[in-house]
Structure 1
Amino acid sequence: MADQVELSSPPFDSVSQVRFSPTNPDHLLVSAWDTTVRFYDVATNEQKAKFDHRAAVLSCLFGDSTHAYSGCLDTGVRELDLTTEKVTSLGQHSNSVSALSYAREINTLISGSWDQSLRFWDPRAPKAETSNHTLPERVYHMDIVNNTLVVSMASRLFHIYDVRRMSEPAQTRESSLKFMTRSLACMADGQGYAIGSVEGRIGVEYFNPSPEIQDKKYAFKCHRQNIDDVDHVWPVNALAFHPVHNTFASAGSDGTVSIWDHKVKKRLRQYPKYASAIPSIAFNCDGTRLAVGVSYTWDEGDEGLKKEGGTVRAVWVRKVGDEVKPRAAG
């Protein structure tokens, strides 16, 4: 397909996260259960570096153009030097590191863990960990827009923080969806966020606590299909907002990616189905490409793997066009 390319040398095991550089539209990180983080130039389809870890890598992201970070099943938070391929340990949690965010406004790396804590890191400081914040539950997902950090936890709990004042959350919420949160992404315009759950639903939420703004929040069903009169429901594994148009993409265990305009509550496009589940997606910084990590997500254990006939592992990079632009309301 001319509109998308499959990256050469993908991971050997399931993809955990795909993340583009905040400044270079061609630079992509892919973390995986094969204990690696791979750094690609998607324009030339070339793997520029590979970072080996001691255990599965659950999360990765760029700090700046030459440094990236990884969060690992072995509890470690590491800095990856993209030029020298050197891996530096910044420190550890007391359980696996499930999520990473980078607060650009205060130049701080934030890690979230199943140990029920957030830790803040300044990689340039002699002691990299600058603060530690205890939470009521295990951290599943995080995303940040400007200074607003959204943390999704077990028991469907959400904390919303101003990263400049971490003494307490600015807001505490319970998920508007009935089942476990599987994905989270903040709107590009800073107004709110979207969440996806294991039972094929997406919720659209707004930060402003005023009743008239809260009235705008809603949830809808997606990543579902009726096959032979049986409703099949798949988890919504990943969400990503377009950096320019503020529409968003959702990806599920059904192997599909859809583009949504949440303002007019319409689906703009569904791309052709991929060969397996999709654990992670990301738009690049100028919104011209969408990376799609494709691999079995173990929703159905070994049985599902047998049914699929072995593990598919691929990362596709798709060119995006007018289908991500919002439709004129009305």
Structure 2
Amino acid sequence: MSKNIDENDGILIPNTPDDYISDLILCELPEAGSCLLVTAWDGTLSIYKTNSETSGRENIPSLFKRIKYEMPLLCCCVLNSEIYVGTVQGQLLRYDIIMDSFTPVLITGEDISTLALCKIFVYEDQRLKNSLICVSWDGSISVVDVHQGKIDIRIQLKEDCKILTADCNSKRLIIVETGHKLRLFEFPLQEYDEGTSIASALKYQIRDVKLLPMTDGYVISSIDGRVAVEYLTEPDKQFAFRCHRLNLKDTQFVFPVNTLAFCPGTSKILTGGSDGAVSYWNLDTRRKLKQFPKFNSTSVVKLVCDKGLFYVATSDDSFKSNATIDSNIELQPSSIYVVHL
């Protein structure tokens, strides 16, 4: 069995949310400098100063602010030094760090969608400045002008289409649908654009997707311990590999690969699974660079990388494998670690 992670591999960040962690992002804020933003299902938005100008144990992020909303928060984003969050009810909220309060972005006070906002991205289109792309479980994609407080573009996929997750860069948006499918949208987005439907190279449900930073393509991970690398212009280069598995004498345990994170400006990627471990890969050489020890008894649910270190969020996702819904179930508390590569 893997040993638990020690201080040479990672440091536990104090004052982390207890509930299931839904998003991790790195950003710069005028009030706090380099920060780690964390949203959770208990409705909390936590802002940590990363103290990136220091080294060693002094580099441990410290809690700067925490605010709780009445509904679970599923994602966050920073545009023009302002923090935005998406709720489980489909609201897009702006967080005022001075007033320490949330306000709806739409001037009508309405929700962006009928179901949860699962992802928010900055829309890098010069014609639509000050805009966010909001992706929802209900199959809608909305471009929101946060200064005018209105929706400029809204794309609604077919009724039976639900969006599980997404990723975005300056060129395109990729979404993961139910039914083992992906859909690719090239920028600029158009009101009636249905995108290009792509069949998944993986047999089972996709857990995460990331666009390749160095070329045109994407990486997906699934619940059956597999990762696939797809190239849009060079399909012959595509490949897949197994990971996050436990080999025993008579059987093999397979764990979902919940999260992916690229090291900035490289083809090196981190994978995190329900085995509680993180693996580090070089996609160019197709080799594993390092296997990090198991963090704790819960699952790795989110990763974000920053130069020579990365942040790991672990949460108890055992409820996903329960046969019935148990409202009285007690989950283990979540944790966040900072790890040096």
Alignment of 1:148-227 (within 5 A): 148-166=172-190, 167-208=192-233, 213-227=234-248
* Residue aligning to 1:138: 162
Q: Is the 8 A contact 1:121 1:131 kept in 2?
A: yes
Q: Which amino acid aligns with 2:261?
A: A
Instruction: Give 1:191 deviation, angstroms.
Output: 2.0
TM-score by length of 1: 0.87
For 2:299, what is the secondary structure of its paired residue?
coil
Q: Which amino acid aligns with 1:154?
A: T
* Residue aligning to 1:114: 137
Instruction: Give 1:51 deviation, angstroms.
Output: 2.8
* Residue aligning to 2:334: 313
Distance across 1 between alignment mates of 2:172 and 2:145:
18
* Residue aligning to 2:91: 76
* Residue aligning to 2:103: 88
Instruction: Give 1:2 deviation, angstroms.
Output: 4.7
Q: Pick the aligned partner of 1:27 from 5, 20, 35.
A: 35
Q: Which amino acid aligns with 2:25?
A: R
Matched, 1:294 2:314: yes
* Residue aligning to 2:17: 11
Q: Is the 8 A contact 2:125 2:188 kept in 1?
A: no
For 2:48, what is the secondary structure of its paired residue?
strand
Q: Which amino acid aligns with 2:21?
A: V
Pair 83,2 (structure 1): closer, same or farther in 2 beyond 3 Å: farther
Matched, 1:272 2:297: no
Pair 170,118 (structure 1): closer, same or farther in 2 beyond 3 Å: closer
Distance across 1 between alignment mates of 2:323 and 2:24:
24
TM-score by length of 2: 0.84
Q: Is the 8 A contact 2:312 2:338 kept in 1?
A: yes
For 1:215, what is the secondary structure of its paired residue?
helix
Matched, 1:41 2:49: yes
Identity of aligned residues (%): 23
Instruction: Give 1:61 deviation, angstroms.
Output: 2.2
For 1:92, what is the secondary structure of its paired residue?
coil
Distance across 1 between alignment mates of 2:72 and 2:247:
35
Q: What is the Cα-based RMSD across aligned positions, in Å?
A: 2.3
* Residue aligning to 1:263: 284
Distance across 1 between alignment mates of 2:333 and 2:140:
33
Distance across 1 between alignment mates of 2:33 and 2:340:
12
Q: How big is each residue's C-alpha offset from its partner over 1:149-173, in whole Å with a ceiling of 9 and x where there is no partner?
A: 1111111221111231334255320
Q: How big is each residue's C-alpha offset from its partner over 1:196-232, in whole Å with a ceiling of 9 and x where there is no partner?
A: 0111110101222xxxx11111111111111342210
Alignment of 1:245-260 (within 5 A): 245-260=266-281
Distance across 2 between alignment mates of 1:204 and 1:25:
35
Q: How big is each residue's C-alpha offset from its partner over 1:28-62, in whole Å with a ceiling of 9 and x where there is no partner?
A: 11111111111111226222222322221121222
Higher mean C-alpha displacement, 249-258 vs 81-90: 81-90
* Residue aligning to 2:171: 147
The number of equivalent residue pairs is 309
Q: Which amino acid aligns with 2:66?
A: K
| Unmatched segments (≥5 aa) in structure 2 | 1-6, 52-59, 106-110
Q: Which amino acid aligns with 1:317?
A: V
Distance across 1 between alignment mates of 2:95 and 2:313:
21
For 2:179, what is the secondary structure of its paired residue?
helix
For 1:8, what is the secondary structure of its paired residue?
coil
Q: How big is each residue's C-alpha offset from its partner over 1:56-88, in whole Å with a ceiling of 9 and x where there is no partner?
A: 112122224x31221111221112234443312
